[in-house]
Amino acid sequence: MHSSPTFFERFIRAFGGLLVRLFYRVRVFDPETIPSEGFLLLPNHLTWVDALVLQLACPRPVRFVVFEPYYRHWLLHPVLSAVGCIPISPRHAKDAIQKAAEAIRRGEVVCIFPEGELSRTGILLRLKRGYELVAREAECPVVPVWMDQLWGSIFSYAGGRFFFKWPRRLPYPVTVAFGKAMSAREADIGRVREVFLELGERCFQERDYLKGHLGEACLRGLKKGQFRVAMVDGMDGGKISRGSLLAGALALSRIVARECPAYRVAVVIPPGRAGMLVNLAVVLAGKVPVNLNFTVGRAAVEAALRIAEIRYCITAHAFSKRLGDFPWPEACLFLEDLLPEIRRNAPWWRLAVGVVPAGWLARGIGLPRVADREEAVLLFTSGSSGEPKGVVLSHRNLLGNVSQFASMLNLGRKDTLLACLPFFHSFGCTVTLWYPLVEGVRAVTFPNALDIVQCAKLIQRHGITLLCSTPTFLRGYLRRVEPAQLKSLQLIVTGAERLPNELADAFQERFGKEVLQGYGLTETAPVVSVNLPEPDPAAGQEVSVQPSNRKGSVGKLAPGMAAQIRDPDTGAKLRLHDTGMLWLRGPNIFEGYLGEPARTAEVLQEGWFRTGDLARFDEDGFLFIEGRISRFSKIGGEMVPHESIEARLVEVLGLSQEDRCVAITGVPDSAKGEALVLLTTREIVQTDLREKLVAAGLPNLWIPRRIVRLDAIPILASGKLDLRGCREAALRAVADLAGEA
């Protein structure tokens, strides 16, 4: 019995603490919340040394419940027995539960890892219910605790192996946060997962690099491996090294600093070598790049210029001539005119990049050490459901989201991504612009994601491994690309809109490639969650497969994100497993809408962001987006989901996934509030449609009242459905019918 620790136990704990201090620097938050009586401690599980770190952080001795084969191991048994560990196995689970409960009733701290195994993805796994039996048997408080930044250390499975890898830094920083004690009845798996996410978000926010400057992060990223290829121009095949790209951007940044005294600078250049260079230069000049959406109408661009108070713009003569009636700001810098000065000064900057430490270089060009929540990038929403809004993304937002995305994908030096998404779209801005600059992933740039044929040629020619796209763009690959052209792809990630299961299945059948769905919003910088490839169970040891993706879901939350499910009408908290409004908190949540405090207050409350999406989580932590509030119609008091109807239409009508040929929208209706309108590019007869949908089991409220034939479904340049355009088309058609009547 361990009412008081023995000398040997105290010695082992002290020795273990000494070893931990040699390799880790542990910061502890809220240890004062630990109860004075016995309680059950529930930590996340990332490494083989979690127990040592946790014991160092906890001010009271901890007894761990250990899987019996480890407890009986000849090398570990003397130590585990001496410190009072409790062995558990499926055959003797009841005995272990009783021993743990007795220890807690005696006033001891007992620890169970509720995931039951080490995470091999760095993301929280399914929580096993065994801890609930202990808590209820002992009728004790339950304290969740989160250990952060251990993923990536040599004792974690980062990189696909334990132990045999170089540590990223020594000593390794670790943050441990204790949650508030909850009752045994309250601590079900849904509530504990929610608290874990909140503790993880709090720890992530404490990471020091989040306070830095995006420009310095790019500078440090490009200085590493500065002779490796950073970018290949898909237009002419030209290559540029990381050091040369940085030198060119530094040379241009001095011109920007001199010629553009305003805080924000518009960038009107398609994605490519020039676009990447200009955006980096603007940030290195200490200014905010605003990539304007040159595909929208004049009125939308003028609104963006007015809201952002933009006076200066960087573009290119060759591109500006193609834009026609574009509302240019008062002063424009043209890249062609600046090239002589850039070429004259770039060699000197290249020398500086090679010999001057990154920190000195950053201070030398005037970048502050701390930027944190200051504005780094301004993006305008696409206006899919209303007028564009200026979304302020801070240095913290972008550094956080790049880190989150990088930790999930874990790409290496051999990987290459296709950077063809527009930089005025948040997916393209973060994932295909800042991510490769900061993390050292090679990019092949191309200015037009709609040119599917050329994109496929680039994938084949350069052995591209990562393709970030949208479902709308992927439909073009089904029709115009041969399977051999996509052979090198290892990851295909989609965002911006829901991925139909039929499209994913068709892509898998034609190309043998799994399409992985992610989720994000402009206001979340944008990545919130993403499905990942399933690990190969044949590789490595004989271990259980930890699911990394789930069909129909948008994956698991990125590290450092917390989530709540709330009632859409009252805002009351629901269980994570219920369907309701998704609220998010994390380092990537935007700072607000520029100049619109009222709109900001509608969606941001105490750091929580109201997404506008209806969602739920399953027990493994996979997020399912059930629909956007704006993509529902309230008919006769019932919420009718547009996307679900669209999916059934594709199914019952046998439509192809190669093109978007149907869209559902709602129009005002005096009798039931709203009426559904089907927009389609096909010839569909109302009576035939009704018969098929009724036979498929759809409720009457879900059957469109009107069918409108269009030449093309309204689509934004980002690939998303143009919700506003769809509604306007439906309203015009209804008005025309009323006029004829």
Q: What is the per-residue pLDDT for 57?
A: 85
Residue 637: which CATH number?
3.30.300.30
**At 85, is the pLDDT very low, low, confident or very high (cuts 50, 70, 90)?**
confident
**At 265, is the pLDDT very low, low, confident or very high (cuts 50, 70, 90)?**
very high
If you average pLDDT over residues 80-104, what whole number do you get?
78
**Are 565 and 662 members of one domain?**
no
- Please check whether residue 30 lies inside any domain of the structure: yes
Residue 87: which CATH number?
3.40.1130.10
**Are 258 and 293 members of one domain?**
yes
**Are 452 and 581 members of one domain?**
no
Distances (CA, A) of 167 to 27, 254, 550: 19, 37, 32
If you average pLDDT over residues 319-347, what whole number do you get?
90
Q: What is the per-residue pLDDT for 586?
A: 95
Q: pLDDT at residue 254 above 60? A: yes
Cα first-last separation, the chain: 89
Residue 428 CB-half CA count within 13 A: 29
Q: What is the per-residue pLDDT for 373?
A: 95
Of 497, 520, 535, the residue at which a domain comes to its end is: 535
**Are 343 and 445 members of one domain?**
yes
Give the residue with greater pLDDT, 79 vs 105.
105
Q: What is the per-residue pLDDT for 668?
A: 81
Mean of the per-residue pLDDT values of the chain: 85
Beta pairing partners, 393:
377
Residue 249: which CATH number?
3.40.50.12780
Q: pLDDT tens, 666-694?
A: 888 766 677 888 888 888 888 888 888 88
**Are 170 and 25 members of one domain?**
yes
Q: pLDDT at residue 353 above 80? A: yes
**18-27, 158-167, 429-438, range with greatest mean pLDDT:** 429-438
Q: pLDDT tens, 613-627?
A: 889 999 888 999 887
Q: What is the per-residue pLDDT for 538?
A: 44
**Are 576 and 640 members of one domain?**
no
Sequence-distant (≥ 6) Cβ neighbours of residue 656 within 8 angstroms: none
Give the residue with greater pLDDT, 280 vs 568.
280
Give the residue with greater pLDDT, 410 vs 719.
410
- Please check whether residue 73 lies inside any domain of the structure: yes
Q: pLDDT at residue 211 above 50? A: yes
DSSP string, 109-120: EEE--TT-S--S
**148-162, 389-403, 416-430, 501-515, range with greatest mean pLDDT:** 389-403
If you average pLDDT over residues 581-600, what whole number do you get?
93
Peptide bond into 526 cis (omega under 30): yes
**Are 571 and 513 members of one domain?**
no
Residue 606: which CATH number?
2.30.38.10
Q: pLDDT tens, 121-150?
A: 778 888 888 888 888 888 889 999 999 988
Of the candidate ranges 576-580, 589-593, 721-725, the one whose mean pLDDT is the lowest: 721-725
DSSP string, 93-148: HHHHHHHHHHHHHTT-EEE--TT-S--SSSS--PPPTHHHHHHHHHT--EEEEEEE
Q: Which domain holds residue 571?
A: 559-586+600-621
Burial class (CB in 10 A: 0-12, 13-18, 19+), 698: middle
Q: pLDDT at residue 708 above 60? A: yes
**Contact present, 307 and 379 (Cβ < 8 Å):** no
Domain count, the chain: 4
**At 723, is the pLDDT very low, low, confident or very high (cuts 50, 70, 90)?**
confident
- Please check whether residue 611 lies inside any domain of the structure: yes
If you average pLDDT over residues 657-663, what whole number do you get?
75
If you average pLDDT over residues 631-650, what whole number do you get?
74
In the chain, what percentage of residues exceed pLDDT 90?
Answer: 39
**Are 374 and 523 members of one domain?**
yes
**At 115, is the pLDDT very low, low, confident or very high (cuts 50, 70, 90)?**
confident
> What is the Rg, in whole angstroms, of the alpha carbon atoms belonging to the chain?
28
Distances (CA, A) of 604 to 200, 372, 597, 600: 20, 18, 10, 6
Instruction: Work out the angle at residue 498's Cα, subtended by the Cα atoms of residues 493 and 503, and round it to the nearest 5 degrees.
Output: 75
Q: H/E element holding 345? A: helix 335-355
**307-311, 379-383, 710-714, 734-738, range with greatest mean pLDDT:** 307-311
**Are 232 and 167 members of one domain?**
no
**Contact present, 378 and 391 (Cβ < 8 Å):** yes
SS3 369: coil
**Are 578 and 499 members of one domain?**
no
- Please check whether residue 110 lies inside any domain of the structure: yes
The residue to which tokens 């039996």 are assigned:
133
If you average pLDDT over residues 291-313, what whole number do you get?
88
**Contact present, 326 and 268 (Cβ < 8 Å):** yes
